[in-house]
Chains A and B, each alone.
Chain A
Amino acid sequence: MSALRVIEGGRANELPSARADRGLLAELYERYAPQVYGRCRYLLKNDEAAKDALQDVFAKALRALPEFREAASPSTWLLRIATHHCLNVLRAQKAHWHGELAELQKDRRADAEPPERRELVRVLLGAAPEEAQEMAVLYFVDELTQAEIGTLTGRSLPTVRKRLREFLTAARAALKDALPGLTLPEGDDL
């Protein structure tokens, strides 16, 4: 006597679409997750949010796997996704960079040391327009050349320069009162 077994709920989560290939994930984790997690922690300054962002970034990467595999530099490609994702999270949270700048100023008075450059860039990102934020991370944090940024983002060299100048202008204006005496590169230096 045969019988039908209907499985309640359909176990949809077991479909391959919901499963990432474990071997591939293990490789991605080993090779790239540390730096992606580092980037998320750097930008979000919150370990819990960074954990979420890390997993979001890799889910995005798996959805765009052919693009990832074709990337000249998978690590740079992943970090760019991570940066973009975290900047979006910060925008959605309407992060208060003014407050962070004030904290930076307070710490500086205590230490009599200039803030670390990457930290300063991070705090000032919120002052800059959207595209300039990403370009600033690529330039000041990843230390890519303007030509490399152009290739990565598909923007022309003049556009990359223009965005970086926008960032510096916004950053300088924000620093004027908060941290007088701190200098940033002149726009002409770019």
Chain B
Amino acid sequence: MTTEKTVRCSSARVRRLLAGELAGTERADVSAHLLACETCRATERELAKEREALLRDVPFEVFASGVAERLAREKPVRNRWLRYAPLLAAACVLIVALPVALNRRAQTEVESGIRGKGGALAQLYVKDARGVHAWAPGEAIAENADVQAELKLEDKHAAAFLLEGGQAHVVFSGFARQASGKPRVVAFGWTGAHAARLVIVGSDLPIDASALQAGALATDPERWPGVVHAQSIDLPRAH
């Protein structure tokens, strides 16, 4: 039932009007049409019922947690991380662009305090009172904050060590990916005022973390026995 020469009945158009997607002449025309057209006003009433049904059946909290759960279930793909950039503002930034080592023994020093052989082996996040955000190289970490490292290794086995205060701790040792195929995420925090260094290593063979821990402070991880890929990430401490 068309009441205006320029506007034909369309539930999509009514939806667009009510969602604030129309502007200028089109908005004025559709608004005028809506006032005079019983069919389109029925669509408007139907939209009001849909809203009632939503609020009754799926309150915002249920909706938000359901969507978050589905996003978490997604198998991470690097391109998809990049697609999140607008949503996550400055989050989802790879640790640092490390030059790919053509020679496995080549070592690269970068000003950010990250060095190693191989590409970026982990993506780091910090969880503090403000929530979770992507860690930026050089960013100081508060004592009560957690660090989360999502491992990006292609190797089958991985280990992570935290070197701080003259001690070497094993944070993780095992398969680089979860049984589900998803990337392994290791999380930790450390007490005290010392800055720390996170060392991530990868190998196609199982890693003897205890043996590496014993000599961890004596040599560069790139030279650790059996290690194929290694990366050291300096984590400054906030004061």
Contacts and interface: CB of A to CB of B under 8 A. Distances in A.
Which 6 A/B pairs are nearest by Cβ-Cβ distance? Answer: A2-B192, A10-B185, A18-B72, A38-B50, A55-B66, A59-B70
B51 interface: yes
A34 B50 contact: yes
Interface string A43-62: 00001001110111011001
B41 interface: no
Contacts of B49: 38
B83 A75 contact: no
B187 A2 contact: no
A96 interface: no
Nearest to B64: A25
B30 interface: no
19 contacts: A5-B146, A5-B188, A6-B188, A12-B150, A15-B150, A16-B91, A20-B64, A21-B87, A26-B60, A29-B64, A31-B19, A37-B53, A55-B69, A58-B63, A63-B83, A64-B83, A75-B15, A75-B16, A75-B21
Contact of B12 (A7, A17, A79): A79
A21 B132 CA distance: 11
Given A76-B12, A144-B12, A29 B63 contact: yes
Contacts of B58: 33, 37, 51, 54-55
A122 B167 CA distance: 67
Interface residues of B, number: 70
A12 B57 CA distance: 29
A141 B19 CA distance: 18
Interface stretch (B74-82, B99-107, B221-229): B74-82
B46 to A, nearest CB: 7
A162 interface: no
B238 interface: no
A3 B190 contact: yes
Contact of B67 (A25, A35, A73): A25
B71 A17 contact: yes
Interface string B157-191: 00000101101010110000000001011111111
Contacts of B192: 1-3
Nearest to B134: A16
Interface string B1-41: 00000001111110110011100000000000000000000
Q: How large is the interface on A (under 10, 10 to 19, 20 to 34, 35 or more residues)?
A: 35 or more
A165 B202 CA distance: 59
Contacts of B205: none
Nearest to A22: B64
A2 B194 contact: yes
B57 A2 contact: no
A84 interface: no
Contact of A17 (B8, B51, B76, B191): B76
B47 to A, nearest CB: 6
A14 B84 CA distance: 15
Contacts of A75: 12, 15-16, 19, 21
B46 A2 contact: no
A47 B89 CA distance: 34
Contact of A65 (B50, B63, B83, B193): B83
A50 B58 CA distance: 10
B148 interface: yes
B87 A24 contact: yes
Contact of A14 (B132, B184, B186, B193): B132
B71 A38 contact: no
A69 interface: yes
A7 B11 contact: no
A56 B11 CA distance: 23
Contacts of A98: none
A18 B68 contact: yes
B20 to A, nearest CB: 7
Contacts of A59: 67, 70-71, 74
A74 B19 contact: yes
A11 interface: yes
Contacts of B146: 5, 7, 11
